[in-house]
């Protein structure tokens, strides 16, 4: 079975590793001329860490990342609306959330693969089915494969060819992200916080012993541009009544490392595959980041698609099974993440969510989190 994976991000590289674990060779084709994951942090929740442990790199990630000892929604002064417990942020086996720099995660994934697996500078143009195989046209070259797995992200070119009417959905919110060389103040160590103000949010977590990742979110029209000369002052003014550490993080971040991104997801596709081509990760079901599960769901895709392909010789049957096993959870994450973001930026919605957080019994919240952290069915 000759498998091509389009996209050298977290989903694509993890898929190559899960296939390799099962003795299935694949090649990854990445458009960029070098690894170029953005300078931001990411949470690998227990469901993703189970997959990382299965392919043998979990401990390497723990060595360069940071365990999250508590994850809390707070008021602007970083006072929790409700304190989290271990049961809310770990699975029944004690697996915890690991916060890590995205570029370090990508590098560890890349380094764990055989040296000839990833080809950089491969700019996808189109693909076609030829005699039961897939011919991929890149700028200046062509490649043939039996199966194409497209992990080329929210703005997937493969998806646009397969499903021209697919649409992304703007959430109404934009975000800024940054990484600062600093340590969390006493009392905030090892924590992940998301502070809610009026129509704005600010999140932060430690991603290494001397680095903190932060993000800021507000309601905004789509496709706006920052005035880079006043950006730090504008952000500090926006979060003026927040904890002093928030403004300190903004001030200490190198201006060129503050990244602005509009927050969008993907409108639900009727299907993820056509013939010998299947979408995975954000290409199939991009979600807003409000549940911290976007990359984790791409990692889960890698786990399921590789195990199913190891059992199914027919691509169409494998892809149908993949969708049936992944749809329910993916739809839950995408829909609830979008709803969470909308309510957090609405006065009444925010008040309602705070009330629910305070009144929901802990065992109910633990059960909800464990449903996210489970891999069902499990192949190991």
What is the pLDDT averaged over residues 183-195?
Answer: 88
Poorest-confidence range of 33-42, 127-136, 214-223, 317-326? 33-42
Phi, psi of 286 (to 5 degrees): -55, 140
What contacts 97, CB < 8 A, 6 or more positions away?
43, 44, 45, 46, 49, 67, 68, 71, 89, 90, 192, 292
Task: Look at strands 277-279 and 147-150 and give their pairing.
Answer: parallel
What is the pLDDT averaged over residues 125-137?
Answer: 95
SS3 category, 137: strand
Kindly list the distances between the CA atom of residue 74 and the CA atoms of 143, 194, 207, 212, in Å, as whole numbers in the listed order. Answer: 51, 6, 19, 17
Looking up tokens 């809610």, which residue turns up? 196
| Cα–Cα distance measured from residue 203 to residue 43, given in angstroms and rounded to the nearest whole number | 12
Q: What was the pLDDT predicted at 88? A: 79
Q: What was the pLDDT predicted at 213? A: 96
Q: Are 151 and 283 in contact (CB under 8 A)?
A: yes
Average of per-residue pLDDT values in the chain = 95
pLDDT at 89 over 90: no
For the chain, count helices (H), then strands (E). Answer: 13, 18
Q: What was the pLDDT predicted at 376? A: 84
Q: What was the pLDDT predicted at 36? A: 76
What contacts 150, CB < 8 A, 6 or more positions away?
5, 6, 7, 156, 158, 159, 277, 278, 279, 280, 283
Phi, psi of 79 (to 5 degrees): -95, 120
pTM of the model: 0.96
Residue spans of beta strands (DSSP E) within the chain: 3-6, 26-29, 41-44, 66-67, 70-74, 98-101, 118-119, 124-130, 133-138, 141-145, 147-150, 168-181, 191-196, 200-208, 211-219, 259-266, 273-274, 277-279
Q: What is the pLDDT of residues 325-369, one digit of tens each?
A: 999 999 999 999 999 999 999 999 999 999 999 999 989 998 889
- Return the closest-CA partner of residue 219 out of 263, 172, 177, 168: 172
Q: What is the pLDDT of residues 15-28, one digit of tens each?
A: 999 999 999 999 99
Q: How confident is the model at residue 30 (pLDDT cuts 50, 70, 90)?
A: very high
SS3 category, 8: coil
Looking up tokens 């997937």, which residue turns up? 156
Q: What was the pLDDT predicted at 380? A: 67
């Amino acid at each position: 079975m000759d498998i091509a994976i389009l996209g050298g991000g977290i989903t694509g590289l993890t898929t190559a590793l899960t296939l390799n674990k099962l003795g299935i060779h694949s090649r990854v084709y990445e458009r960029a001329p070098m690894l170029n994951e953005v300078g931001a942090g990411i949470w690998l929740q227990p469901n993703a860490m189970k997959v990382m442990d299965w392919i043998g790199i979990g401990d390497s990630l723990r060595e360069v990342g940071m365990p999250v000892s508590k994850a809390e929604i707070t008021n602007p002064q970083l006072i929790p609306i409700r304190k989290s417990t271990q049961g809310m942020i770990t699975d029944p086996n004690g697996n915890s959330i690991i916060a890590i720099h995205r570029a370090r995660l990508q590098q560890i994934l890349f380094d764990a693969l055989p040296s000839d697996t990833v080809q950089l500078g491969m700019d996808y143009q189109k693909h076609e089915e030829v005699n039961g195989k897939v011919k991929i046209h890149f700028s200046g070259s062509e490649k043939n494969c039996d199966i194409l797995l497209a992990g080329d992200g929210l703005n997937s070119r493969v998806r646009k060819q397969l499903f021209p009417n697919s649409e992304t959905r703007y959430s109404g919110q934009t975000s800024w992200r940054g990484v600062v060389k600093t340590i969390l103040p006493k009392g905030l160590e090892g924590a992940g916080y998301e502070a809610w103000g009026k129509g704005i949010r600010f999140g932060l977590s430690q991603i290494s012993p001397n680095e903190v990742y932060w993000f800021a979110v507000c309601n905004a029209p789509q496709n706006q541009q920052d005035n880079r000369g006043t950006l730090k002052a504008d952000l500090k003014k926006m979060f003026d009544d927040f904890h002093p550490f928030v403004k300190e993080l903004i001030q200490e971040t190198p201006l060129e490392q503050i990244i602005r991104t509009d927050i969008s997801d993907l409108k639900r596709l009727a299907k993820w595959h056509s013939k010998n081509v299947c979408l995975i990760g954000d290409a199939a079901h991009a979600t807003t980041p409000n549940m911290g599960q976007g990359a984790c769901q791409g990692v889960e895709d890698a786990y399921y698609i590789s195990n199913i392909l190891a059992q199914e010789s027919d691509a169409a049957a494998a892809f149908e099974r993949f969708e049936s096993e992944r749809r329910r959870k993916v739809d839950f994450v995408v829909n609830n993440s979008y709803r969470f973001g909308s309510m957090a930026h609405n006065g009444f919605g925010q008040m309602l969510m705070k009330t629910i957080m305070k009144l929901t019994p802990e065992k109910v919240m633990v059960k909800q989190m464990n449903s996210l952290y489970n891999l069902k069915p499990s192949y190991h």
